[in-house]
Amino acid sequence: MTIYLHRNDLPDDLAFGGSVAIDTETMGLNLTRDRLCLVQLSFGDGDAHLVQFPVGSDYLAPNLRRLLEDPAIVKLFHFGRFDIASIKAYMGVTCNPVYCTKIASRLVRTFTDRHSLKELCRELLGVELSKQQQSSDWGQDVLTEDQKIYAANDVLYLHKLKERLDPMLVREGRVELAQACFDFLPARADLDLTGWPEIDIFAHNT
């Protein structure tokens, strides 16, 4: 594994490919308060690219933006709802098309309530992930080696997880349902950003 750290954007000469795994790190979980600090990417080749946004960044990132907006590139997430919303809030970009390993897992692994990235990697890939840096300070100017490894691990296995989950979606007859859920994710992220974060607008409330 090689981890590449970039500031403000991806390099000009980076080849993209047909799919990319994406994750984000922010100062917290409040989308309107906690700024986007890092966008992690992997093209399924065993390497990770980390794009760091320092304090005061304009988030223009033309190369990263081109990747995120490319309709020919599938963006893989785990719990994409948050990452898609964070990218939209700070970069003004709607990620599309998207795939979420957490949604796929919930649709086919109905025998368990364990759908975290850590659990999926352990159960489907035999990989043990450390989540020790999950609550660390992602806004600091110099990231630690442990932070960089943690951030890279959040994207390095998403392609392999998709390879394991896709046949399960086929087997259970839920491919179209999963795709409908993935297609709805950008709208779900918009609902989070515009005032309906914990409200189910489809629910019947008296």
CA–CA distance, 141 with 161 (Å, rounded to integer): 32
Domain extents for the chain? 3-193
- Strands in 36-42's sheet, in edge-to-edge order, are 3-7, 48-52, 36-42, 19-26, 74-77, 98-100
CB atoms within 10 A of CB 180: 10
pLDDT tens track for 153-194:
999 999 999 999 999 999 999 999 999 999 999 999 999 999
CA torsion sign, 159 to 197 to 107 to 18? Answer: negative
pLDDT band at 130 (very low <50, low <70, confident <90, very high): confident
Mean predicted lDDT score pLDDT of the chain: 95
Task: Provide mean pLDDT across the span 55-69.
Answer: 97
pLDDT tens track for 72-86:
999 999 999 999 999
3.40.640.10, 3.40.50.1370, 1.10.8.100, 3.30.420.10: CATH of 3-193 = 3.30.420.10
Phi-psi label, residue 17: left if phi above 0, alpha if psi -120 to 50, beta otherwise: left
Residue closest to 67 by CA, chosen among 89, 39, 86, 37: 39
